Amino acid sequence: MAKLMDTAAVYGWSNPKQTKSLIENVFEGVPKYQQDFKEAFDMILNALKRSFKDAIKVDEMIRGDATFEKSRTEQDLTIVRLVQDIIEALTNFQLITSYFGETIMEQVSSTNFLVNLTNSYCLLRKIKKYWVQGCSTSEQHQRIITCTDNAIKLVVQVSSDVMQFGVILKIGVFGKNHAIVQNKLA
């Protein structure tokens, strides 16, 4: 699965149709890879869930829990690492939703993936609204805001892709440029 993800990451932006076709052909030609995909997808989803657990600890740390007491600089670095972990998982999800085709999207849409995307969005909004207050430096503040903004954009993009490829096409509604219009393209 790692090689397919690498193929999507390296060639997807410059050759999106060919990349998607290549990956779809792999899954059609070797159905065993669909099970491999499920296992890899579950690993990525579990990494995102671990980020949620880490966020609980960060929240306690920021609120001053003595168990997690750290300097503000250490807190800032912990927040940045947490957001970077979320971005890594979301980037993998974006590759999947963009290049892995309808068969795989059917597998994705039958999981609690959208719930986890929603949780990611809520967590990122919380980070931006509450956790950046009192950053150790203005540079750290800007770094956290930039990382968080990028992660929020990824959540919206992946959610839109899942809706378009995993749900909307099945019910006769089409999406284009993230606008949804019934029975016609936007």
Average pLDDT of the residues of the chain: 83
* Domain spans, the chain: 2-151
Q: Note the pLDDT of residue 162.
A: 78
Buried residues in 18-49 as b, exposed as e (16+ CB within 10 A):
ebbebbbebbeeeeebeeebeebbeebbeebe
Residue 96: how many CB atoms within 10 A of its CB? 27
pLDDT band at 68 (very low <50, low <70, confident <90, very high): low
More confident of the two residues 62 and 92: 92
Taking the model in full, what pTM does it have?
A: 0.79
pLDDT at 137 over 90: no
Q: Note the pLDDT of residue 185.
A: 45
CA-atom Rg of the chain in angstroms: 18
**Using CA atoms, how far apart are residues 172 and 24, in angstroms rounded to an integer?**
22
Q: Mean of the pLDDT values across residues 23-35?
A: 88
